[in-house]
């Protein structure tokens, strides 16, 4: 395997594991086990970031710079979709 294939495979594996850790944590009733999954999720995101930065630096992962207007539109869209939690009393 070439280096770029290895990095791509590792990145895809980390993405899948993060999906699984998130699912496991959200369905876990044991607090200590849930916290362990959240810790693994956090570590997985850190690993993904390192792999992504490596791939980007080597030119294997092309990223187009978003325009400020597009960023503002996306932020507005997701801000409006954020759930609100009301205190019960």
The tally of domains found in the chain comes to 1
* Within-domain flag for 54: yes
How far apart are the C-alpha atoms of 62 and 8, rounded to whole Å? Answer: 13
Q: Is residue 86 part of a domain?
A: no
Report if residue 58 sits inside a domain. yes
In a domain, 34, yes or no: yes
Domain assignment present for 88: no
Q: What is the pLDDT of residue 43?
A: 96
**pLDDT, tens only, 2-29:** 999 999 999 999 999 999 999 999 999 9
Q: Which domain holds residue 36?
A: 3-81
With cut-offs at 50, 70 and 90, classify the pLDDT of residue 66.
confident
Query: What is the percent of the chain where pLDDT is above 90?
Result: 69
Express each pLDDT in 52-63 by its tens digit. Answer: 999 999 998 888
Q: Write phi, then psi, for 63 (nearest 5 degrees).
A: -125, 125
Contacts with 47 (C-beta within 8 Å, 6 or more apart), sequence order: 14
């Amino acid at each position: 395997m070439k280096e770029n294939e290895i990095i791509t495979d590792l990145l895809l594996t980390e993405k899948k594991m993060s999906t699984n850790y998130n699912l496991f944590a959200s369905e876990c009733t044991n607090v200590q086990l849930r916290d362990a999954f959240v810790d693994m999720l956090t570590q997985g995101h850190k690993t993904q970031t390192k792999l992504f930065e490596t791939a980007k630096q080597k030119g294997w992962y092309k990223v187009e710079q978003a325009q400020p207007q597009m960023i503002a539109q996306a932020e507005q869209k997701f801000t409006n979709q954020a759930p609100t939690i009301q205190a019960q009393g």
